[in-house]
Amino acid sequence: MPAKEVEISDGWLQRRSDPTQRESVSAPITRAGGHAIEARASARPGKERKQYAMHAFGAVFAEVHVDPDLGEIRVHRIVASYGVGRLLNRKTAHSQLKGGIIWGIGMALHEKTELDPVTGRVANANLAEYHVPVNADVGTIDAGAYGTCRLRWTSCWTEARSGPGWLRWPPSNGKMSPTGLVPAT
């Protein structure tokens, strides 16, 4: 059977034109005596690159306390919301977002980041000079990733389940709230 005729669905390898012709994904490995089966492929961006947005979007808000006498900065709370497209694993995505926020706290408060003026990359990008934030440096983090984000260049809108109701962007009633989000109508 040609490779283009095979698809994977719910743990089965099946023929695209006739889904009743199928076998479990473990069957080929069993036939190969448990040895690895390797395949190589390549992919290039398709027409969807011109039709859909390929980036994640987010907003991060930080509540910080500054000691006026010492100038010491403490991060009390961070609230972040991201539209990331289809989430494959909510727990992993949440951990990645929180980790990025913690890394940003360290970058902002504990180090001097040297940027290479030619490439724009961080020039001192190694852990020898990095002061890793500890629990005492990080307050409450409330980060949410909303995987129902559908973004098109022609009609850009996002819906996310957040709190008491659905939110829609841009607002269908044309009005903005202080947060930029209004309840969908």
Domain residue spans in the chain? Answer: 3-36, 51-152
What's the pLDDT band for 170 if we cut at 50, 70, 90? very low
Give DSSP secondary structure letters for 154-180.
Answer: SS-BEEEEETTEEEEES-TTS---TTS
**Sheet of 57-66, strand order:** 57-66, 73-83, 140-146
Strand partners, 146: 83
Higher pLDDT, 77 or 136: 77
Q: Reply yes or no on whether the pLDDT at 69 is more than 80.
A: yes
- Residue 91 pLDDT level (bands cut at 50, 70, 90): confident
DSSP 58-97: EEEEEEEEE-TTT--EEEEEEEEEEE-SS-S-HHHHHHHH
* Kind and range of the H or E run holding 97: helix 90-109
What CATH architecture does domain 51-152 belong to? 2-Layer Sandwich (3.30)
User: Which two three-digit tokens encode residue 39?
Assistant: 């395949």
CA–CA separation, 140 and 136 (whole Å):
11
The residues that bridge with 61 in the sheet, in sequence order, are: 79
Question: Is a pLDDT exceeding 50 seen at residue 152?
Answer: no
* pLDDT (0 to 100) of residue 54: 67
pLDDT for position 98: 92
CA atoms of 20 and 24, how far apart (whole Å): 12
Stretch (H or E) spanning 28: helix 27-31
Neighbours of 155 (CB within 10 A): 8
pTM above 0.75, yes or no: no
Closest CA to 180 of 86, 58, 87, 63: 58
Determine the residue type at 124.
N
What distance in Å separates the CA atoms of residue 35 and residue 29, rounded to the nearest whole number? 7
Identify the pLDDT of residue 141. 92
